[in-house]
Amino acid sequence: MSLPVPDLMSPENGARFASNLLDWYDVAARTLPWRTSPADRAAGIIPDPYHVWLSEVMLQQTTVGAVKAYFEAFITKWPTVNDLARAETDDVMKVWAGLGYYSRARNLKKCAEHISNELGGKFPDSVDGLLKLPGVGDYTASAIAAIAFDRQTAPIDGNFKRVYARLLEIEVPPEEAKAEINMAVLAAIPKDRPGDFVQALMDLGASICSPKTPGCLTCPVGAHCSARANGTALDYPKKKPKGEKRTRSGFAYVLVRKGDGAVFLQKRPEKGLLGGMSEVPGSDWHKRSAEGDSTMTPPVKGDWRSSGEITHKFTHFHLKLKVFSLEVVDINRTGGWWSKPNQLAEEALPTVMKKAIAAVLPDAFKQRSKS
Query: Would you please indicate which residues are annotated as catalytic (active-site) residues?
Result: 56
Report how far residue 237's alpha carbon sits from residue 214's, in angstroms, rounded to the nearest whole number.
12
Tell which residue, 45, 7, 39, 15, has the closest CA to residue 25. Answer: 39
Instruction: Count Cβ atoms below 10 Å from residue 15 Cβ, excluding itself.
Output: 13
Tell me whether residue 14 is exposed, middle or buried, using C-beta atoms within 10 angstroms of its C-beta: 0 to 12, 13 to 18, 19 or more.
buried
- Give the DSSP letter string of 81-115: HHHHHHS-HHHHHHHHTTS--THHHHHHHHHHHHH
| First-last CA distance in the chain | 49
Residue among 162, 264, 282 nearest 214 (CA):
162
**Cis bond upstream, residue 237 (ω within 30):** yes
- Show the CA angle centred on residue 336, arms to residues 331 and 338, nearest 5°: 70
Which amino acid, one-letter code, is at 161?
Answer: K
| CB neighbour class for 361 (10 Å; exposed up to 12, middle 13-18, buried from 19) | middle
Other CB atoms within 10 A of residue 80 CB: 14
Q: How far apart are CA 155 and CA 111, in angstroms?
A: 20
